[in-house]
Amino acid sequence: SNFERDCVQIVKTRAEIDELLKLSNLIDLVIPRGSNALVRHITDNTRIPVLGHADGICSVYVDKDADLSKAMALVLDSKTQYPAVCNAAENLIIHRDCLTTMLPSLGRALAEADVHMFADTDCLDHLPKCHASPMNVDDFSTEYLDNRITVVAVPSLDDAIDLINSKGSHHTDMIVTESKESANRFLTSVDSAGVFHNASTRFADGYRYGFGAEVGVSTTRTHSRGPVGMEGLLIYKYHLVGDGHTVAPFVSRQAQFTHKDLDK
């Protein structure tokens, strides 16, 4: 191996981590993997760039033009396939036109999977009483990481988008709909690292994207975003090979830039 023996080290205490976070002259990037409290502590206590996310508050929006069978499969998979991960759904948003046509079936399916629902007043009466209770004001911004979910109704697609953008964590959000127009609006307007149409939020994973081993998930808007593999850690470096070229002839217009792709 060409690696130095000490290139991989283990730190075991918060004090040791805090010392590492001071080494901005030696460390290029921190990728925290752990609890919400750990990620926030690291982000708040270093000048080193941090790649990661504190919360995975993912939402599934069931549109008025959704197919019920697809909606049931997608909601269940997003919530129950593995609830304790950052790409599991924590919120179910449903169009008000679907309160009587789709929500009762979705509620029964979630109840049968032993999921407890915290619902707003519009939704509560359409859910199994033994598995539903009134939501609190902060429930929509809660990462449960278990068999609990928040259920709310909205009057329009735009209201769903606004709710996700203002209360979500910009991780992964999904629309269930057969309307291409609604899907395209959702895909372009929701400001999250992953925005899906008729596909489970659980697909938000570096391995499932074909990146190999996932080193982290980023909800930032610069450099890498979403699940990050080895390629996502790399940045540009420019090589310029000339033969005495100077800028002056280009400024005086004696020479011109062509901006053409070069053969590799």
The token pair at 172 is 């992964």
Choice among 128-142, 176-190, 235-249 with the minimum mean pLDDT: 235-249
Q: Work out the angle between the directed axes of helices 103-112 and 68-80 (0-180°, nearest 10).
A: 30
Q: How far apart are CA 138 and CA 167, in angstroms?
A: 9
What is the bridge-based pairing of β-strands 148-154 and 226-228? unpaired
Biggest CA pair distance of the chain: 81
- The predicted-structure confidence for 46-93, as pLDDT tens digits, reads as follows 998 887 766 889 999 999 999 999 999 999 999 999 999 989 999 999
Distance CA 163, CA 167 (A): 6
Percent helix, strand and coil across the chain, each to the nearest 5: 35, 15, 50
**Alpha-carbon span 130 to 117, nearest angstrom:** 10
Q: What is the pTM of this model?
A: 0.80
Is residue 57 within 8 A of residue 171, CB to CB? The reply is: yes
pLDDT tens track for 32-59: 877 777 878 888 889 988 877 668 899 9
Q: What mean pLDDT is predicted for residues 237-246?
A: 82
